[in-house]
Structure 1
C-alpha cells in the first residue's frame, strides 16, 4: 500500500523507481540508482535547475503566513495567504486569513517588509506584493526570514537543503522540483559513464495547494520557464529525451 513519506531520505538514490517497458508494457519496481542502466548511449536527460526558495513567510505584523508562488515578475511577487496555524495542520484545514487589502504593509521580522499591491477579484487569498528592500538586501533577508513550504504528513519540518536538487541554480521554485531530488551525484556519474547526456531548463515550480477549493482548481498558476539554446540543440541531437521534473 502506498503512503506518504514521513521524512526525506538521506540515501537519495535508494528511492523507488517504477519502470514501464514501452515495448512489452511490463512493469518493474526498481531503485533510482538503477536509472542509468535503463537508458542507452545517446539518450538525453533534461533536469530542472530551479532552486527552491524559502517561500513560506510568517508575518510578525499580522496573524498570517504568506507563501510566495514562484519567481517574481519584475519586482512583483504573487503570494497565497493563510490564517493562523502551522505546518502540522493540513493546508485545507487552515483558517482563512484576515483581510489584507491593497496598501497593507506586512513585516516579516526586522529586515523584510512588503506592501500588498493587489488582491485577486475571485479570491482574497491570492495577492501581489512588492518588497521594500533592494535586491542586494532582499535575498539575504528572505533566506533569513523564510523557510521551505512544509507538509503536514511529515514527522519533522523540512530544512532548505532537504528540498534542493544537486544542480539547483536560479532561485525560482516555490516548491521543490522533487522528481530530480533523488538523483545523487553517484547516479549522475553513472549516466555519464553510460553515454547519457544531461541538459537543464529552469522552471518555476509553483505551489501545490492553496487551502481553498476554488483557487486549487486554478492551479497551476502562472509559472516562468527558461530553455537555453544549448538545451534546445541537445534535444534536437538526442535519440531519446527523458524529462525529470
Structure 2
C-alpha cells in the first residue's frame, strides 16, 4: 500500500497541548467495526462499554525523565541529549541534537560549566550516540536533571511543566524504561480501574518499553517496506495464562494501546500467548491476521506512522479515516494528551 493512503488533514488547533483537567475527563469515540458506526462518549463511560469477563491488558512501562540539556565543552554550543536505553557497563544509547559534531570523545556538561560530565563514546550506524558519564551514574543524572520526554508537537516540550511529570505517566506505571508514554493508558484513574473490576472486567499488565521509533513517520513509499526497531517486552506467565484462559472461554481480550497490541500479538505462538522477556519488533499493517486482540483502546495517531497503520489493519483504513474526519469535526483532541478511541 502507498504511504499517502495513510494521510489526513488535521488543523493544528486539534492537537492537545495539555491534558484534560482530569484523566478520565477526556472523550472516547467508539468505533464499531461490525456496523461501521461511530458513537461519542466520555472516557469515564468505559466500564459501561466493556463486557463482564473482558480481559483488559495494559502496558505498565514507566516513562523515564530521558531529556537532558547540556553544553559542548569545547565549542560552547547547547545540545539536547535524549537517553534511550542502557548499552553496557553504565553507558547508554542516546540521541544528541544537534549531533553532527558529537563525535567520539566529545565532552558535554549538563546544565552548563560545572555540571555533571558526559562523554560520547561511540557513534552508531543509525546516528545514535553511546554516551557515558564521567562523574557518576546515568540513572542518578536522569533522576536529578532529566525532564519528561514530551513529543515535539507539544509546544513546551523543551521546558515541561511540573504537571507533565505527573500526567505524562500512567497511574499504574511500574518498571522504568519508556522514552514516550503508552498514551492510551493516560486516561485511567484508580477509581476507574476499581469500577472496571466491579463490572467484572479483569485487568492485567505487561511491559513494553516504548522507544522513539514507534512514533516516527514512515519514510518508505510502500508501507510494507517499513521496519520497526525492536523494543524490550516482558509478559509474565500469569498474564499470558489469563489471556489464554479468556480466549479459551470465549471472552474478549481488550488491549490498551498499540504497544500492548504488538506485545500480545508478537507473543502469540501456535494458538496461545507465550510468557516472554526479550525483544519484539512485530510491525502490523493491513493484511495482518490478529490472533489475540479482540478490541483496542487507543488515542488518535499521527498521519503516516506505524501506529495509524496498525489501527487501520485492525479496523480497516476507510473506517479509521472516517472516524478521524468525524473526530476533527466534533472537536476531539488529538495525540498524546488528546482523547481516545475504542475499536471493537
The interval holding the TM-score normalised by the smaller chain is 0.7 to 0.9
In the alignment, what sits opposite 1:92? Answer: none
Q: CA deviation at 1:100?
A: 1.3
**Number of aligned residues:** 224
Secondary structure of the residue that 1:59 maps to in structure 2?
A: strand
In the alignment, what sits opposite 1:115? Answer: 119
Q: Does 1:160 align with 2:165?
A: yes
Alpha-carbon distance between aligned partners in 1 of 2:41 and 2:201, rounded to the nearest angstrom: 19
CA shift digits 1:24-74 (9 cap, x unpaired): 2321122211111111121111111111111111113452101122x3244
Structure 1, 57-66 or 28-37: larger mean CA deviation: 57-66
Contact 1:64–1:98 under 8 Å retained in 2: no
Unaligned runs of 5+ in 2: 1-9, 258-344
210 and 20 in structure 1: CA distance in 2 versus 1, 3 angstrom threshold: closer
In the alignment, what sits opposite 1:93? Answer: none
Q: CA deviation at 1:235?
A: 0.6
More helix, by proportion = 2
Unaligned runs of 5+ in 1: 84-96
Secondary structure of the residue that 1:64 maps to in structure 2?
A: strand
TM-score using structure 2 length: 0.58
Q: Does 1:244 align with 2:244?
A: no
Q: CA deviation at 1:114?
A: 3.0
TM-score using structure 1 length: 0.80
Alpha-carbon distance between aligned partners in 1 of 2:191 and 2:20, rounded to the nearest angstrom: 15
122 and 23 in structure 1: CA distance in 2 versus 1, 3 angstrom threshold: closer
141 and 12 in structure 1: CA distance in 2 versus 1, 3 angstrom threshold: same
Q: Does 1:28 align with 2:39?
A: yes
Q: Does 1:16 align with 2:27?
A: yes
Alpha-carbon distance between aligned partners in 1 of 2:28 and 2:62, rounded to the nearest angstrom: 23
**CA RMSD for the aligned pairs?**
2.7
Q: 1:179 aligns with which of 178, 181, 184?
A: 184
In the alignment, what sits opposite 2:230? Answer: 222
In the alignment, what sits opposite 1:89? Answer: none
Contact 1:207–1:220 under 8 Å retained in 2: no
In the alignment, what sits opposite 1:170? Answer: 175
Alpha-carbon distance between aligned partners in 1 of 2:207 and 2:64, rounded to the nearest angstrom: 14
- Relative contact order, higher structure (CA 8 A, sep 6+): 1
The aligned runs of 1:1-245 (5 Å cut-off) are 3-61=14-72, 62-69=77-84, 71-74=85-88, 75-83=90-98, 97-109=99-111, 112-123=116-127, 126-132=128-134, 138-154=138-154, 156=156, 157-158=160-161, 159-207=164-212, 220-238=228-246, 239-245=251-257
